Amino acid sequence: MSFDLFATSSDNGVTKTQLADQAWHLPNFIQNRDNLLKALLNELIQLAPLRKMKTPSGKLMSVNMTCCGDVGWVSDALGYRYQGTDPLSNLSWPVMPDLFNALAKEAAAAAGFENFEPDSCLINYYSVGARLSMHQDKDEADFSQPIVSVSLGLPATFLFAGLQRNSAQTRIALHHGDVVVWGGASRLAYHGVLPVENGMHDLFGSQRINLTFRKAC
């Protein structure tokens, strides 16, 4: 399939830049919904507190995580998986707020994925220096559904590669309000986040927050 890599187009008022086949960067897609998102996040992290998870090999991840939705992503000595309860409390994860669901569906549709029905949102808080090494999102049952990733707060450099860990990498500067959507031919693309650099954001302080929406089950 051919496409204009990095070509930027606009339709229905949505600007988007193509990163790869079926992978798109939607700058400032969330527009003025940031204050609402912040209020919802503050409620969610009271119900299911942020925590650092351990990789199956026992390393503490640098990102603080929690989840909402029908299932949440969990990592521990047993491996990576989705489960319906928060291991800290054994309670169900908080319900996904309607605004989260609506934004994820809108962004997916803008990137060509109609009928996205996320059942899980992974909420990641990056302090300065936190990073995410190159990985595939492959713990979901259905790879026909895309991944939708919303960035808030401090900027970060997102690395987007192909289907092999050592594929050529594209570097994308992600700013507050940006969304990245990848699916289809790019669904299993390797990606990661370079260490977040020091800074101060008006609304979120010295943190980067990332929401990743998936259809996990």
CB atoms within 10 A of CB 193: 23
Instruction: Single out the residue of 34, 137, 140, 178 in contact with ligand MD6 (rule: CB under 6 A).
Output: 137
* Cα 121 to Cα 67: distance, rounded to the nearest angstrom: 6
Contacting residue, 34, 86, 119, 137, with Fe ion by CB under 5 A? 137
Q: Which two tokens stand for residue 60?
A: 């503490």
Q: Which parts of 196-215 interact with ligand MD6 (CB under 6 A)? A: 210, 212
**Which is nearer to ligand MD6, 92 or 136 (by Cβ)?**
136
**SS3 category, 44:** helix
* Site for ligand MD6 contains 158 (CB under 6 A): yes
Smallest gap from residue 193 Cβ to ligand MD6 (A): 5
CB of 97 to Fe ion, least distance (A): 21
Q: How far apart are CA 81 and CA 72, in angstroms?
A: 8
Q: What is the C-alpha to C-alpha distance for residues 185 and 128, in angstroms, rounded to an integer?
A: 33
For the bound state, the minimum distance from the C-beta of residue 47 to ligand MD6, rounded and expressed in Å, comes to 19
SS3 161: coil
Q: Is 140 in the site for Fe ion (CB under 5 A)?
A: no
CA-wise closest residue to 5 among 35, 28, 27, 25: 25
Tell whether residue 122 is a contact of ligand MD6 (CB under 6 A). Answer: yes
Residues at the site binding Fe ion, with contacts judged by CB under 5 A: 137
Residues at the site binding ligand MD6, with contacts judged by CB under 6 A: 122, 124, 132, 137, 149, 151, 158, 191, 193, 210, 212
